[in-house]
Amino acid sequence: MSTPRPAAVLVLAAGEGTRMRSTTPKVLHHIGGVPLVGHAIRAARGTGAQHVGVVVRHDRDRVAELCTTLDDRLVIADQDEVKGTARAVECGLGALPADLSGTVLVTYGDVPLLTGDTLVELTAAHLETGSAVSVVTAHLADPTGYGRVVRDANGRVEQIVEHKDATEAQRRITEINSGIYAFDVSVLREALASVGTDNAQGERYLTDVVALARAAGRPVRAHVLDDLWQTEGVNDRVQLAALGRELNRRICEGHMRAGVTIVDPATTWIDVDVTIGQDTTVLPGTQLLGATSVGAGALIGPQVTLTDTEVGDGAEVSRAVANLAVIGPGATVGPYSYLRPGTRLGARGKIGGFVETKNADIGEGAKVPHLTYAGDVTIGEGANIGAGTIFANYDGVAKHHSTVGRHSFVGSSTVVVSPVDVADGAYVAAGSALTQDVEPGQIAVARGRQRNIDGWVERSRAGTAAATAAREARARHTDGPEPATSEGNAS
């Protein structure tokens, strides 16, 4: 039997979130590489519901725009100036088809660890028990601030009382309302019509629906969750960090259970959408962010930050930063390498220490091992770029592209003044300042010829330790040239 789906999920996200003390709306703050409201939308989508709506008001345009970027099938519902969670749900229902029937779930935009699986279980239990209202509850050691679940003598849920409206005895109740619910939509509509504002905050409380449904003889039940993290909301940045760490712990655990070695999960940060192949090892201090994917049997870390980067099987990356780069299978990167957008390193290629690359297509087995800037360049298969080579791609106005052909060799400390094409099987002498193309099989030598001037040190640096050392060295090598003591008798 396929699991029954809710007809709709409403995500409440109209609140202001003042305790974040931020110019960014609370639900747009991120954990695990996804905004808080994005986590809520993903969980909602995980139910397979036909409609997912987000109720917005505070910073409406920013929140709505971000939400539709994340999911273009979303329904955006605007809450008016009437306050309270009941009004938020009314506004949400108003944006859905009027003939909607079946189950509607309500969640919050600031409860990021709630999963789609939990909502699926909630829906199934709600329908199996024939309930009209299912409230997700949890038992907290410190329930301060939450709405309390008041049960009758038979243990059935009677009502929810907000902390501010609760009596001393009710405040001692440790079972709290998480704010996540499953409703039969017709019961919900009927009850909402009777929700007033007679409470400490003068708001229209969604929680009143519980007592109203009970009074109308509708079955109400509590769906108790043991995993407290899934009910926890973000109100300030301290909670944002705590929930971010817990989410990361869960993500790392998922990868470890799937066959990835993570040496130190506490210093490894992995975003929700990252994929990692079997038997890859992740060393401490590593961040795998955005849409990064890592193949199998790779070695990543220590101290690596990869953003939207693809790493092939068996590659090794240490102490590196890469953004929108592709690292081929069996390739090695680092230590201390900076791969900027458009870097593509071929299979078994190498980008070594203190190398920066950008728009660089580096062929199979090609090596850029030391101290190089390679921007706007295509480097052929098996080529070797000597230490300290700079591809000078920018002339102050425009960027230019250079190529180095297959199995070519660029000597150390060369400046390639782009655009220049070095053909396949060509060499460039060390120290060249290359401004012209090089044909296949040629070596380009683009530098001043060396001149040695005899006796210069003793003449121009007379009396220094260098002058003494030169004289002593010559005395030891009797066949060495005579010192030239003055301009006139230089040999």
User: What does the binding site for ligand UD1 look like in residue numbers (CB under 6 A)?
Assistant: 12-15, 55, 79, 83-85, 87-88, 108-110, 146-147, 160, 162, 176-179, 205-207, 233
Structure letter (DSSP) for residue 296: T
Q: Calculate the alpha carbon distances from 115 to 138, 201, 230, 234, 250 in Å.
A: 15, 30, 7, 16, 12
Least distance from C-beta 319 to Ca ion, angstroms? 41
From the list ligand UD1, Ca ion, none, which binds 294 (C-beta under 5 to 8 Å, kind-based)?
A: none
Q: Name which of Ca ion, ligand UD1, none residue 195 binds, using a CB cut-off of 5 to 8 Å depending on partner kind.
A: none
Quick one: what does residue 292 bind among Ca ion, ligand UD1, none, with the CB cut-off 5 to 8 Å set by partner type? none
Contacted by 14, from Ca ion, ligand UD1, none: CB < 5 to 8 Å by type: ligand UD1
The residues, ordered by sequence, that sit 6+ positions from 254 with a Cβ below 8 Å of its Cβ are: none
- Measured in residues, the chain has a length of 491
Nearer Cβ to ligand UD1 (139/400):
139
Selection from 188, 179, 193 nearest residue 102 by Cα? 188
Give the number of C-alpha atoms closer than 13 A to the C-alpha of residue 96, restricted to the C-beta side. Answer: 28
Rank residues 25 and 365 by Cβ distance to ligand UD1 and give the closer one. Answer: 25
C-alpha distance from residue 86 to each of 90, 231, 457 (Å) = 6, 19, 91
108 binds, among ligand UD1, Ca ion, none (CB under 5 to 8 A by kind): ligand UD1
Asked if 210 and 135 touch (Cβ cutoff 8 Å), the reply is yes
Q: What are the catalytic residues?
A: 370
* CA distances in angstroms from 114 to 56, 126, 144, 176, listed in the order given: 20, 17, 21, 16
Three-point CA angle 451, 433, 425, nearest 5° = 110
The continuous run of DSSP H or E covering 71 comes out as: none
For Ca ion, the closer of residues 89 and 339 by Cβ is 89
| Kind and range of the H or E run holding 252 | helix 237-257
Q: How far is the CB of 178 from ligand UD1 (least distance, A)?
A: 6
Query: Smallest distance, Å, CB 239 to Ca ion?
Result: 10
Tokens of 130: 């024939």
CB of 120 vs ligand UD1, minimal distance in Å: 21
Which residue is closest to Ca ion by CB?
233
| Alpha-carbon span 177 to 161, nearest angstrom | 9
Q: Which is nearer to ligand UD1, 199 or 293 (CB)?
A: 199
Question: Whole-number minimum distance, CB 336 to ligand UD1, in Å?
Answer: 44
Q: 207 contacts which partner out of ligand UD1, Ca ion, none, CB within 5 to 8 A by kind?
A: ligand UD1
**Residue 207 CB, nearest approach to ligand UD1 (Å):** 5
Q: Both tokens of residue 142? A: 């410190």
Rounded Cα distance, 189 and 94, in Å: 10
Nearest to ligand UD1 of 137, 292 (CB atom): 137
Interface with Ca ion (CB under 5 A):
233
Q: Does residue 448 contact residue 433 with C-beta atoms inside 8 Å?
A: no
In the block, residue with structure tokens 């003068």: 202
Nearer of residues 14 and 262 to ligand UD1, judged by Cβ: 14
